[in-house]
Chain A
Amino acid sequence: KAGVTQTPRYLIKTRGQQVTLSCSPISGHRSVSWYQQTPGQGLQFLFEYFSETQRNKGNFPGRFSGRQFSNSRSEMNVSTLELGDSALYLCASSSGTDPYEQYFGPGTRLTVT
């Protein structure tokens, strides 16, 4: 079974731009969660999508948004990029039911200059 894939793996953007990251979950998984990982703040939950609906969200500004398609692939968008958005963005795939065993992708490293 193929693992979780994230594209692109690395991205450099400038302040004010917007970016879209993509995540393809494990086949059959209906839940995709997104996390931001930084040295200062650690791993922070952004949001979770299940069957195309946002089911949970963390405490991030509205500049961070996401969506999920009917094939369970998910995209995350960040608008009006700030320097502080530089981070490793991880997505995790799960069946969406207890016990929420999550399988993580390798991440997208975003650098904002």
Chain B
Amino acid sequence: GEDVEQSLFLSVREGDSSVINCTYTDSSSTYLYWYKQEPGAGLQLLTYIFSNMDMKQDQRLTVLLNKKDKHLSLRIADTQTGDSAIYFCAESTGSSASKIIFGSGTRLSIRP
């Protein structure tokens, strides 16, 4: 079946690194995504990783994929107050990989 799980909350001190974790169940997923949702706003695509990759880095963001354990993580370096948001992990599935299943989201809060 299709299921994506994330922890609900994460609190990090400003300037530290944040690591948001996600597990998924569909081994046929072709792409895995990270989205950000700020209060009152729609979702914004942050980054994605193809399932045959182990790691992808994009400025302050690092995505790690462990396909054997079906585990995905997003690391945000030097976390800033503007990073406060809900972060969603998502996997592509379905006959044409265009069916995107989202996790429940992790609310990241930043401590001064």
| Interface pair B98/A96, CB less than 8 Å apart | yes
**Interface size, chain B (Cβ < 8 Å):** 24
Closest B residue to A103 by CB, please name it: B45
Question: A56 with B98: in contact, given A42-B105, A99-B50, A100-B31 (CB under 8 Å)?
Answer: yes
Chain A interface, >50% SS class = strand
CB proximity of B98 to chain A, nearest CB, Å: 5
| Interface pair B43/A90, CB less than 8 Å apart | yes
Which residues of chain A have C-beta atoms less than 8 A from B102's C-beta? 35, 42-45
**Interface size, chain A (Cβ < 8 Å):** 27
Residues of B within 8 A of A (CB): 30-31, 35, 41-45, 48, 50, 88, 92, 94-105
Q: Which 9 A-B pairs have the closest CB atoms?
A: A104-B42, A56-B99, A43-B102, A104-B43, A56-B94, A42-B104, A99-B31, A106-B42, A48-B98
